[in-house]
């Protein structure tokens, strides 16, 4: 009798294990259209280019040999073993400018999908090197830039809506129709974003101001981060508490409920409203746009395809109607 019970338990455990493995394989490896990751690639490449546009005017102030942080000090701060091409280059602002220019060029290649994997890899190396050259000017958004750009190296993000795709079709090396690939790289990006929200909530809950509902009041009074004037609503305690606890609820939902298909779009809309609100109120360059771009990875590929077809139809209709308007 004990043997029969043990056999049934092992059989149930084996069945559960098979179901888990099957679910794991579906989640990470069941082929999906690559349009979702292609859309994200273009948005992420645009964020990288915007990042470089913000850095360019003061490039040598932050990274140059005569800038605010000497190379030796930067190496002492970052420690040994860091990915930094400047370690292999001689001193000189010319090399700084060259590395920066090549990184911008690689970021542009990533945005338009030209030699996509190589562009992503070069953009990551340049990004890491520039960040390690002066770590004092970084924030958590810069860490996210490095992590996600690294993951894009392994994604099929350049197989549609890209120069690579256009060139392959010109040569006749790819067939028309949807491109289906394993989404494991996109899943890792989604998990990274969800973990970011989860850790944010956990860290915030360590502070008493988030528990008593007054954190948003203090955040919006940081003068160095002010962007636009805030309405008088931010002076009312009930509104401050609603926004504080609401932000926690939204961020917790972006870490958990976003995985539930029927709740995904309400959570995405709430997350977009949260980030746009922070973007209006606080001057934290690019961070909110990075998060908004990251949220697009959760949009189902079928919906991305439907949106693309809609845009294509509207564009085709515009091209047909526009010439007719010029006829007498």
pLDDT digits (tens, 9 = 90+) for 53-84: 999 999 999 999 888 988 888 888 888 778 88
pLDDT at 328 over 50: no
Residue 137 · residue 68 · CB < 8 Å: no
The pLDDT assigned to 2 comes to 53
Q: What is the pTM of this model?
A: 0.89
**For the CA atoms of 165, 169, 175, 179, what is the dihedral angle to 10 degrees?**
10
Gap between the Cα atoms of 242 and 237, Å rounded? 9
Mean pLDDT of 209-235: 91
183 backbone dihedrals φ, ψ, rounded to 5° = -95, 20
pLDDT at 145 over 60: yes
Gap between the Cα atoms of 162 and 39, Å rounded? 10
pLDDT at 142 over 90: yes
Name the pLDDT band for 204 (thresholds 50, 70, 90).
Answer: very high
Q: If you ran DSSP here, which 8-state letter would residue 156 be given?
A: -
Q: Which regions of 52-179 does DSSP assign to beta strands (E)?
A: none
Domain ranges in the chain?
29-182, 183-305
The pLDDT assigned to 323 comes to 52
pLDDT at 147 over 60: yes
What DSSP element (H or E) covers 200? helix 184-204
- Look at residues 213, 217, 224, 286 and name the one whose alpha carbon lies nearest to residue 248: 213
Name the pLDDT band for 321 (thresholds 50, 70, 90).
Answer: low
How far is it between the farthest Cα atoms of the chain? Answer: 93
pLDDT digits (tens, 9 = 90+) for 243-299: 999 999 999 999 999 999 999 999 999 999 999 999 999 998 899 999 999 999 999
Select the more confidently predicted residue: 107 or 73: 107
């Amino acid at each position: 009798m004990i043997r029969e019970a043990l056999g049934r338990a092992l059989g149930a455990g084996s069945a559960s294990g098979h179901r888990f493995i099957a679910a794991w394989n579906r989640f990470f490896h069941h082929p999906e259209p690559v349009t979702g990751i292609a859309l994200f690639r273009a948005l992420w490449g645009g964020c990288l280019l915007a990042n470089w546009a913000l850095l360019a005017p003061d490039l040598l102030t932050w990274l140059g040999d005569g800038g605010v942080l000497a190379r030796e000090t930067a190496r002492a701060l970052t420690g040994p073993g860091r990915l930094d091409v400047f370690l292999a280059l001689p001193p000189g602002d010319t090399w700084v400018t060259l590395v920066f220019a090549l990184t911008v060029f690689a970021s542009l290649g990533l945005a338009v999908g030209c030699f996509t994997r190589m562009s992503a890899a070069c953009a990551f190396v340049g990004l890491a090197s520039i960040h390690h050259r002066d770590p004092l000017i970084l924030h958590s958004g810069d860490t996210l830039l490095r992590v996600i750009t690294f993951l894009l190296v392994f994604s099929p993000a350049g197989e549609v809506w890209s120069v690579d795709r256009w060139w392959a079709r010109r040569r006749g090396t790819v067939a028309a129709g949807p491109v289906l690939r394993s989404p494991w790289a996109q899943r890792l990006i989604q998990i990274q974003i969800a973990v970011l929200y989860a850790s944010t909530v956990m860290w915030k809950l360590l502070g008493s101001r988030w528990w008593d509902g007054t954190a948003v009041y203090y955040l919006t009074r940081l003068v160095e981060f002010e962007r636009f004037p805030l309405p008088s609503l931010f002076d009312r305690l009930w509104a401050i508490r609603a926004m504080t606890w609401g932000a926690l609820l939204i961020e917790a939902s972006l870490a958990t409920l976003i995985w539930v298909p029927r709740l995904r779009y309400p959570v995405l809309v709430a997350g977009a409203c949260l980030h746009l609100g922070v973007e209006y109120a606080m001057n934290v360059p690019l961070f909110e746009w990075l998060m908004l771009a990251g949220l697009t990875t959760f949009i189902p590929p079928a919906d991305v395809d439907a949106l693309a077809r809609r845009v294509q139809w509207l564009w085709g209709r515009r091209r047909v109607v526009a010439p007719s308007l010029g006829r007498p």
